[in-house]
Amino acid sequence: MDPEAEFGRLYEANRTAVHAYFVGRTADKWLAADLMQEVFMRVWQRLPELLDRSLDGQRAWIFTVARNLSVDSFRSERSRADTAAAVDDEPARPSPSAATAVVAAERLAIVSEAIGRLPERQRTVLAMAAAGGLTSAEIGSALGIPAGTVRYRLSEARRTLAAALAGYDQPEPSET
Amino acid sequence: MSIDDTLAAWGAAARLPAAAAADIYQRIVMTPSPARAARTSTLGPGLDPAWWRQFSADFSARIVMSTQPVPYAA
């Protein structure tokens, strides 16, 4: 067994989902990275035990560790900006026109702010779906909740975001 | 731009950059781990059991001999 290769496989298979989970819990991309590192440090320390499990069992083990990690202790050690600011440090995507780019950036800012205000349970499933690319079933399995509950929380979150964007999309009534 | 597009853009921005993920991976595998220790500390097959039997027999014989009175030198 090559420990580094086995660990690399586990890391690549799960890092995006774990990071997305912590983005949902903390609303901070870099704090989420710290927490993700802590989880995978434990994976590295317990690798032989973990490799005896099935792929599903490995992911369940990893998310059990993630759920049990105290977010607050990490939060106090880090003074990074929140997700909205983290979004800002990403390079802007090329857009067909300046006007389209401005609209996209403004909508993104509105959504980022609205996501930051969501209840943590809704934000977590939303982040795991949008940033982690997980299905409702996969999110439910990772969090230990039914897929139906995940779909309900996603629906509630989307409704809140849609309401936030509606104010932006509606043109101001003209005064006559 | 639909809400799905906006959410996809948010998801992409919230994701950890590949370079940062690779850096975290390197930091983790640089630390000692039981798995690596087990691999690097594995000893070879060791000495043959017959060697140990012979060694034990010789050792015991010498212990016994050491308790015998030594004949006076002529």
Contacting residues of B for A20, CB less than 8 Å apart: 11, 14-15
Tens digits of residue pLDDT in A12-47: 999 999 999 999 999 889 999 999 999 999 999 999
Tens digits of residue pLDDT in A75-88: 766 654 444 444 44
Task: Report yes or no: A32 and A23 within 8 Å, Cβ to Cβ.
Answer: yes
A65 and A95 inside one domain: no
A117 and A69 inside one domain: no
Neighbours of B27 (CB within 10 A): 12
Nearest residue to A29 via CA among B11, B59, B64: B11
Interface test with A, best of B2, B15, B36, B39 (most A CBs within 10 A): B15
A87 and A153 inside one domain: yes
Last residue of a domain, one of A77, A112, A138: A77
Reported as a pLDDT band with limits 50, 70 and 90, residue A102 is: confident
User: How many domains in chain A?
Assistant: 2
Q: What mean pLDDT is reported for chain A?
A: 85
A50 and A11 inside one domain: yes
Which among B1, B21, B28 is the nearest to A44, CB-wise? B28
A90 and A35 inside one domain: no
Which ipTM was obtained for this model?
0.78
Tens digits of residue pLDDT in B17-53: 999 999 999 999 999 877 766 666 555 667 788 888 8
A56 and A109 inside one domain: no
